[in-house]
Amino acid sequence: MKNLLLTFFLMVCLFLSCISTPVGIVSSGPYTENFVAAWNCADTLYCSFEEKSVDWQRCYSKHMYFCNQAENDTELLQVLLGIMAELRDQQIQIIANSQMFQAYEKTFFVNIALPLIPAYVAPYGGLTWEENYFGYSSPSGGLSYIQIRRMDEGFPEEEFFQVIDSVFSGSEYLILDLRANSGQNGSGSEKAVAGCFSNMNWTGWYIRERNGEGLSSPEPYILEPNDSVFFNGQVLLLAGEFCSESTELFVSAMQALPEVAILGEHTRGCVGVVQETLLPNQWVLVFPYRVYYSSEMQAMEYYGVKPDILITSSYEDFSQGIDPVLEAAFDIAGVNK
Protein backbone atom coordinates (compact mmCIF):
# COMPACT_ATOMS: atom_id res chain seq x y z
CA MET A 1 0.00 0.00 0.00
CA LYS A 2 2.80 2.38 0.94
CA ASN A 3 4.57 1.64 -2.34
CA LEU A 4 1.35 2.34 -4.26
CA LEU A 5 0.89 5.71 -2.54
CA LEU A 6 4.52 6.62 -3.14
CA THR A 7 4.21 5.77 -6.83
CA PHE A 8 1.04 7.89 -7.12
CA PHE A 9 2.73 10.81 -5.37
CA LEU A 10 5.73 10.69 -7.71
CA MET A 11 3.46 10.60 -10.78
CA VAL A 12 1.59 13.68 -9.57
CA CYS A 13 4.87 15.52 -9.00
CA LEU A 14 6.09 14.59 -12.46
CA PHE A 15 2.84 15.79 -14.02
CA LEU A 16 2.96 19.14 -12.25
CA SER A 17 6.58 19.69 -13.26
CA CYS A 18 5.60 19.44 -16.92
CA ILE A 19 2.99 22.20 -16.75
CA SER A 20 4.26 25.33 -18.55
CA THR A 21 1.70 27.68 -17.02
CA PRO A 22 1.16 28.70 -13.38
CA VAL A 23 -0.27 25.91 -11.24
CA GLY A 24 -3.83 26.35 -10.03
CA ILE A 25 -5.03 28.68 -12.80
CA VAL A 26 -7.96 27.35 -14.81
CA SER A 27 -7.69 27.95 -18.56
CA SER A 28 -11.05 27.28 -20.17
CA GLY A 29 -11.71 29.88 -22.88
CA PRO A 30 -11.25 29.36 -26.64
CA TYR A 31 -8.38 31.89 -26.77
CA THR A 32 -6.26 30.63 -23.88
CA GLU A 33 -3.71 28.95 -26.15
CA ASN A 34 -2.64 32.33 -27.52
CA PHE A 35 -2.68 33.91 -24.08
CA VAL A 36 -0.48 31.17 -22.61
CA ALA A 37 1.95 31.39 -25.53
CA ALA A 38 2.34 35.15 -25.05
CA TRP A 39 2.73 34.78 -21.27
CA ASN A 40 5.37 32.08 -21.72
CA CYS A 41 7.30 34.22 -24.18
CA ALA A 42 7.62 36.97 -21.58
CA ASP A 43 8.31 34.50 -18.80
CA THR A 44 11.20 33.06 -20.79
CA LEU A 45 12.73 36.20 -22.30
CA TYR A 46 11.93 39.26 -20.22
CA CYS A 47 14.80 40.70 -18.18
CA SER A 48 13.20 43.43 -16.06
CA PHE A 49 10.67 41.68 -13.80
CA GLU A 50 12.76 42.36 -10.71
CA GLU A 51 13.85 45.83 -11.85
CA LYS A 52 10.19 46.88 -12.16
CA SER A 53 8.83 44.74 -9.29
CA VAL A 54 6.40 42.93 -11.63
CA ASP A 55 4.78 39.75 -10.27
CA TRP A 56 4.28 37.88 -13.54
CA GLN A 57 2.43 35.01 -11.84
CA ARG A 58 -0.11 37.48 -10.44
CA CYS A 59 -0.46 39.08 -13.87
CA TYR A 60 -1.30 35.66 -15.32
CA SER A 61 -4.03 35.10 -12.75
CA LYS A 62 -5.48 38.57 -13.21
CA HIS A 63 -5.62 38.57 -17.01
CA MET A 64 -6.49 34.90 -17.54
CA TYR A 65 -9.86 35.73 -16.01
CA PHE A 66 -10.50 38.22 -18.82
CA CYS A 67 -9.10 35.81 -21.41
CA ASN A 68 -11.64 33.19 -20.36
CA GLN A 69 -14.38 35.75 -21.00
CA ALA A 70 -13.11 36.77 -24.47
CA GLU A 71 -15.55 35.98 -27.28
CA ASN A 72 -13.76 37.34 -30.36
CA ASP A 73 -10.38 38.45 -31.71
CA THR A 74 -10.93 42.06 -30.71
CA GLU A 75 -11.42 41.10 -27.07
CA LEU A 76 -8.44 38.73 -27.18
CA LEU A 77 -6.26 41.55 -28.52
CA GLN A 78 -7.29 43.79 -25.63
CA VAL A 79 -6.47 41.03 -23.15
CA LEU A 80 -3.01 40.50 -24.64
CA LEU A 81 -2.29 44.22 -24.77
CA GLY A 82 -3.50 44.50 -21.18
CA ILE A 83 -1.16 41.88 -19.73
CA MET A 84 1.80 43.15 -21.76
CA ALA A 85 1.13 46.71 -20.57
CA GLU A 86 1.88 45.46 -17.04
CA LEU A 87 5.55 45.36 -18.07
CA ARG A 88 5.58 49.10 -18.89
CA ASP A 89 7.87 48.46 -21.86
CA GLN A 90 7.58 50.70 -24.92
CA GLN A 91 9.11 48.09 -27.22
CA ILE A 92 6.37 45.45 -26.89
CA GLN A 93 4.01 45.31 -29.86
CA ILE A 94 1.43 42.93 -31.29
CA ILE A 95 0.94 42.60 -35.03
CA ALA A 96 -2.59 41.38 -35.68
CA ASN A 97 -4.12 41.19 -39.14
CA SER A 98 -1.28 43.31 -40.58
CA GLN A 99 -1.85 46.06 -38.01
CA MET A 100 0.66 46.96 -35.31
CA PHE A 101 -0.56 47.71 -31.78
CA GLN A 102 1.54 49.21 -29.00
CA ALA A 103 1.14 47.50 -25.64
CA TYR A 104 2.40 50.43 -23.58
CA GLU A 105 2.91 54.07 -24.48
CA LYS A 106 4.78 56.45 -22.23
CA THR A 107 3.98 60.13 -22.49
CA PHE A 108 6.99 62.38 -22.71
CA PHE A 109 7.88 66.04 -23.04
CA VAL A 110 10.15 67.28 -25.83
CA ASN A 111 12.44 69.72 -24.04
CA ILE A 112 13.50 71.66 -27.14
CA ALA A 113 11.56 74.12 -29.29
CA LEU A 114 13.39 74.15 -32.61
CA PRO A 115 11.96 77.54 -33.74
CA LEU A 116 13.76 79.18 -30.79
CA ILE A 117 17.25 77.96 -31.71
CA PRO A 118 17.90 80.45 -34.56
CA ALA A 119 17.34 83.38 -32.22
CA TYR A 120 19.91 81.99 -29.79
CA VAL A 121 22.59 81.27 -32.38
CA ALA A 122 22.01 84.23 -34.75
CA PRO A 123 24.20 86.66 -32.74
CA TYR A 124 27.11 84.23 -33.18
CA GLY A 125 26.77 83.77 -36.93
CA GLY A 126 24.04 81.15 -37.07
CA LEU A 127 24.49 77.49 -38.03
CA THR A 128 25.99 75.77 -41.04
CA TRP A 129 24.07 72.58 -41.87
CA GLU A 130 25.19 69.26 -43.30
CA GLU A 131 21.87 68.44 -44.97
CA ASN A 132 19.42 67.65 -42.13
CA TYR A 133 21.88 65.65 -40.04
CA PHE A 134 23.74 68.25 -38.02
CA GLY A 135 24.33 71.98 -37.84
CA TYR A 136 27.26 73.79 -36.27
CA SER A 137 28.29 77.29 -35.32
CA SER A 138 31.61 79.05 -35.88
CA PRO A 139 33.68 79.40 -32.69
CA SER A 140 35.13 82.62 -34.08
CA GLY A 141 31.73 84.14 -33.44
CA GLY A 142 31.95 83.22 -29.75
CA LEU A 143 29.86 80.01 -29.70
CA SER A 144 30.91 76.36 -30.04
CA TYR A 145 27.65 74.53 -30.68
CA ILE A 146 26.57 71.46 -32.66
CA GLN A 147 23.01 70.24 -33.00
CA ILE A 148 22.68 66.62 -34.18
CA ARG A 149 19.18 65.73 -35.34
CA ARG A 150 19.85 62.36 -36.97
CA MET A 151 22.52 59.67 -36.91
CA ASP A 152 20.78 57.14 -39.12
CA GLU A 153 22.07 55.61 -42.34
CA GLY A 154 23.71 58.25 -44.48
CA PHE A 155 25.10 60.28 -41.58
CA PRO A 156 28.12 62.17 -42.98
CA GLU A 157 30.75 60.83 -40.57
CA GLU A 158 33.77 62.21 -42.41
CA GLU A 159 32.24 65.68 -42.56
CA PHE A 160 31.52 65.51 -38.83
CA PHE A 161 35.08 64.42 -38.07
CA GLN A 162 36.40 67.32 -40.14
CA VAL A 163 34.22 69.81 -38.27
CA ILE A 164 35.45 68.51 -34.90
CA ASP A 165 39.09 68.45 -36.03
CA SER A 166 39.27 71.77 -37.85
CA VAL A 167 36.43 74.00 -36.67
CA PHE A 168 36.38 73.20 -32.94
CA SER A 169 39.96 72.03 -32.33
CA GLY A 170 40.79 75.05 -30.18
CA SER A 171 37.49 75.33 -28.30
CA GLU A 172 37.49 75.02 -24.52
CA TYR A 173 33.81 74.01 -24.47
CA LEU A 174 31.54 72.33 -26.99
CA ILE A 175 27.77 72.32 -26.60
CA LEU A 176 26.44 69.13 -28.21
CA ASP A 177 22.66 69.30 -28.55
CA LEU A 178 20.89 65.92 -28.96
CA ARG A 179 17.43 66.96 -27.75
CA ALA A 180 15.85 66.72 -31.22
CA ASN A 181 17.41 63.34 -32.02
CA SER A 182 14.96 60.45 -31.53
CA GLY A 183 17.60 57.78 -32.12
CA GLN A 184 15.35 55.71 -34.36
CA ASN A 185 17.01 53.75 -37.15
CA GLY A 186 20.46 54.12 -35.66
CA SER A 187 23.23 53.15 -38.07
CA GLY A 188 26.24 52.74 -35.82
CA SER A 189 27.41 56.30 -36.44
CA GLU A 190 26.73 57.00 -32.77
CA LYS A 191 29.78 54.91 -31.85
CA ALA A 192 31.95 56.65 -34.42
CA VAL A 193 30.85 60.10 -33.22
CA ALA A 194 31.44 59.19 -29.56
CA GLY A 195 34.94 58.06 -30.49
CA CYS A 196 35.86 61.69 -31.26
CA PHE A 197 35.67 62.52 -27.55
CA SER A 198 37.94 59.86 -26.08
CA ASN A 199 41.60 58.95 -26.53
CA MET A 200 41.29 55.43 -25.10
CA ASN A 201 38.94 52.44 -25.05
CA TRP A 202 36.06 52.73 -22.61
CA THR A 203 32.84 51.02 -21.50
CA GLY A 204 29.81 52.74 -23.01
CA TRP A 205 27.09 50.51 -21.55
CA TYR A 206 26.33 47.01 -20.29
CA ILE A 207 24.12 44.26 -21.72
CA ARG A 208 22.23 41.46 -19.99
CA GLU A 209 19.96 38.70 -21.31
CA ARG A 210 17.82 36.09 -19.61
CA ASN A 211 19.18 32.57 -19.69
CA GLY A 212 18.08 29.34 -18.03
CA GLU A 213 19.53 30.41 -14.70
CA GLY A 214 18.16 33.95 -14.63
CA LEU A 215 19.91 37.05 -15.93
CA SER A 216 23.34 36.77 -17.47
CA SER A 217 26.23 38.66 -15.97
CA PRO A 218 26.55 42.26 -17.20
CA GLU A 219 28.60 42.29 -20.39
CA PRO A 220 30.44 45.57 -21.01
CA TYR A 221 30.24 47.12 -24.46
CA ILE A 222 33.65 48.56 -25.27
CA LEU A 223 33.97 51.55 -27.57
CA GLU A 224 37.13 52.66 -29.32
CA PRO A 225 38.52 56.15 -29.87
CA ASN A 226 38.79 57.76 -33.26
CA ASP A 227 42.33 57.21 -34.53
CA SER A 228 42.71 60.68 -36.04
CA VAL A 229 40.20 63.00 -34.33
CA PHE A 230 40.07 63.88 -30.63
CA PHE A 231 38.30 66.84 -29.05
CA ASN A 232 40.11 67.47 -25.77
CA GLY A 233 37.88 70.23 -24.41
CA GLN A 234 34.83 69.90 -22.16
CA VAL A 235 31.52 68.79 -23.64
CA LEU A 236 28.08 69.87 -22.49
CA LEU A 237 25.66 67.32 -23.95
CA LEU A 238 22.01 68.42 -23.98
CA ALA A 239 19.48 65.57 -23.76
CA GLY A 240 15.85 64.90 -22.90
CA GLU A 241 12.92 62.53 -23.22
CA PHE A 242 12.74 62.73 -27.01
CA CYS A 243 16.10 60.89 -27.06
CA SER A 244 15.50 57.15 -27.35
CA GLU A 245 16.99 53.93 -28.72
CA SER A 246 20.47 54.47 -30.22
CA THR A 247 20.64 58.06 -28.96
CA GLU A 248 20.28 56.76 -25.41
CA LEU A 249 23.25 54.46 -25.94
CA PHE A 250 25.21 57.44 -27.25
CA VAL A 251 24.30 59.53 -24.20
CA SER A 252 25.33 56.67 -21.90
CA ALA A 253 28.67 56.30 -23.70
CA MET A 254 29.33 60.02 -23.50
CA GLN A 255 28.38 60.20 -19.82
CA ALA A 256 31.15 57.71 -19.05
CA LEU A 257 33.81 60.16 -20.30
CA PRO A 258 35.43 62.45 -17.71
CA GLU A 259 35.15 65.69 -19.70
CA VAL A 260 31.45 65.31 -20.52
CA ALA A 261 28.45 66.56 -18.54
CA ILE A 262 24.84 65.73 -19.46
CA LEU A 263 22.39 68.64 -19.10
CA GLY A 264 18.61 68.59 -19.39
CA GLU A 265 16.32 65.72 -18.47
CA HIS A 266 16.48 61.94 -18.55
CA THR A 267 16.22 60.16 -21.88
CA ARG A 268 13.02 58.31 -22.80
CA GLY A 269 13.93 54.82 -21.61
CA CYS A 270 13.16 52.94 -24.82
CA VAL A 271 16.22 50.95 -25.79
CA GLY A 272 16.69 47.25 -26.44
CA VAL A 273 16.73 44.44 -28.98
CA VAL A 274 13.50 42.68 -29.93
CA GLN A 275 12.52 39.41 -31.55
CA GLU A 276 9.29 38.30 -33.18
CA THR A 277 7.34 35.33 -31.78
CA LEU A 278 4.53 33.78 -33.80
CA LEU A 279 1.45 33.02 -31.70
CA PRO A 280 -0.84 30.06 -32.49
CA ASN A 281 -3.38 32.30 -34.24
CA GLN A 282 -0.61 33.71 -36.50
CA TRP A 283 -0.40 37.03 -34.71
CA VAL A 284 3.13 38.25 -34.02
CA LEU A 285 4.38 39.31 -30.61
CA VAL A 286 7.31 41.74 -30.87
CA PHE A 287 9.21 41.37 -27.62
CA PRO A 288 12.54 42.55 -26.14
CA TYR A 289 15.00 39.93 -25.00
CA ARG A 290 17.92 42.13 -23.96
CA VAL A 291 18.26 44.86 -21.35
CA TYR A 292 20.77 47.69 -21.37
CA TYR A 293 22.41 49.38 -18.41
CA SER A 294 24.16 52.72 -18.51
CA SER A 295 27.87 53.06 -17.96
CA GLU A 296 26.97 53.58 -14.28
CA MET A 297 25.00 50.28 -14.23
CA GLN A 298 21.61 52.01 -14.09
CA ALA A 299 18.80 50.32 -16.06
CA MET A 300 18.02 52.34 -19.19
CA GLU A 301 14.76 50.67 -20.24
CA TYR A 302 11.80 52.67 -18.87
CA TYR A 303 14.07 54.87 -16.70
CA GLY A 304 16.36 56.35 -19.33
CA VAL A 305 19.79 57.88 -18.77
CA LYS A 306 19.73 60.46 -16.00
CA PRO A 307 21.43 63.83 -16.58
CA ASP A 308 24.36 65.02 -14.50
CA ILE A 309 22.68 68.42 -14.18
CA LEU A 310 18.88 68.41 -14.18
CA ILE A 311 17.40 71.38 -16.07
CA THR A 312 13.63 71.32 -16.53
CA SER A 313 11.71 73.10 -19.28
CA SER A 314 8.04 73.82 -19.88
CA TYR A 315 5.68 74.98 -22.59
CA GLU A 316 5.42 78.25 -20.70
CA ASP A 317 9.18 78.74 -21.05
CA PHE A 318 8.97 78.14 -24.78
CA SER A 319 5.98 80.45 -25.21
CA GLN A 320 8.12 83.20 -23.68
CA GLY A 321 11.00 82.48 -26.04
CA ILE A 322 13.14 80.86 -23.33
CA ASP A 323 15.17 77.64 -23.67
CA PRO A 324 16.29 76.90 -20.07
CA VAL A 325 18.61 74.02 -21.04
CA LEU A 326 20.46 75.97 -23.71
CA GLU A 327 20.71 79.02 -21.46
CA ALA A 328 22.21 76.88 -18.69
CA ALA A 329 24.76 75.52 -21.18
CA PHE A 330 25.61 79.06 -22.30
CA ASP A 331 26.20 80.07 -18.69
CA ILE A 332 28.47 77.10 -17.92
CA ALA A 333 30.43 77.59 -21.15
CA GLY A 334 30.79 81.31 -20.50
CA VAL A 335 29.03 82.31 -23.72
CA ASN A 336 28.37 86.05 -23.78
CA LYS A 337 24.63 86.66 -24.22
Partners of 134 in the β-ladder: 130, 148
Does residue 52 lie within any of the structural domains? no
> Per-residue pLDDT tens for 240-266?
999 999 999 999 999 999 999 999 999
Does residue 122 lie within any of the structural domains? yes
Does residue 74 lie within any of the structural domains? no
Rounded mean pLDDT of 161-184? 95
Whole-number average pLDDT of the chain: 90
Closest residue by Cα to residue 273 from 89, 102, 112: 89
Instruction: Work out how many domains the chain is built from and give that number.
Output: 1
Domain range for 208:
114-269+304-333
Does residue 37 lie within any of the structural domains? no
Does residue 12 lie within any of the structural domains? no
Rounded mean pLDDT of 156-185? 94
Does residue 69 lie within any of the structural domains? no
**What pLDDT sits at residue 215?**
87
**What pLDDT sits at residue 144?**
97
Rounded mean pLDDT of 4-8? 42
Does residue 238 lie within any of the structural domains? yes
> Per-residue pLDDT tens for 273-307?
899 999 999 999 999 999 999 988 999 999 999 99
Does residue 121 lie within any of the structural domains? yes
For the whole model, what pTM was predicted?
0.88
The alpha-helical segments, DSSP class H, found in the chain are: 2-17, 32-45, 49-52, 56-69, 73-85, 117-121, 157-162, 189-194, 246-255, 315-319, 324-333
CATH number at residue 147: 3.90.226.10
**What pLDDT sits at residue 309?**
98
